[in-house]
Amino acid sequence: MQQFIENGKRGYAIVKDKVVSVACIIVPDNTPNAKHDYSPDDMIPIRDGDKMTYIPLKDIFDDYNTAVEELKLRKIQKQNERPSWDAYFMNIAIAVSTRSSCTRRKVGAIIVKEKRIITTGYNGTPRGLKNCDNGGCPRCNSDAPSGTKLDECLCSHAEENAIVQAAYHGVSIKGGVLYVTFTPCLHCAKMICNSGIREVVYNEHYSVDAKASEILQDAGIILRKVM
């Protein structure tokens, strides 16, 4: 139960799942400095807008206590819930994206085989260059509108880095599943086709390049959205 003050009057709101189920103002009598010691059976005057009703105090607190217990139970149940494999891997890809130094968009990707993470990647400037947020990519640090001057961007994409990392360490990704926070661009889509990845799972749609989705589907690569 949350207490609030309205026009100098004390009130209470019972909130359940972020929805106010009871919003009321306790209306005192006209006696100056009157003290109100309520018992559970007292009828409490409740103002709901312009309407005045009387509700037993114990009913208000019963509703509140029930709501609290339900919320506690839901919290325990949620804590005990195991995420699906898709949610598990996508949440890891989202965490990977936080390593990105790109000043425009942070993207993360992981490649999975037989429910094991093979490699990860996030977007940023190539190895040995300044990070994007340190001025490494002039295009990302310019005022170029989104989706323009992409040929001037020095950043490698998350999918690209995940695939290259596998090659760098001599790990096969044939038959793997790519989890990525945004749908691939055309360049990354071509790399995905040639790498042997069989499925791409994404979280958000990148609308700049519709052709990328088309060639993935034409190549028989599953493309689907989760979360």
C-beta separation of 71 from 16 below 8 A: yes
For 198, phi then psi, to 5°, come to: -100, -15
Q: Which residues, including other chains, have CB under 8 Å from residue 211's CB and lie 6 or more apart? A: 186, 189
User: At 126, which amino acid appears?
Assistant: P
**Pairwise CA distance, residues 1 & 12, whole Å:** 6
Active-site annotation holder among 81, 159, 160, 204 = 159
For 54, phi then psi, to 5°, come to: -125, 130
159 is catalytic: yes
* Residues with catalytic function: 159
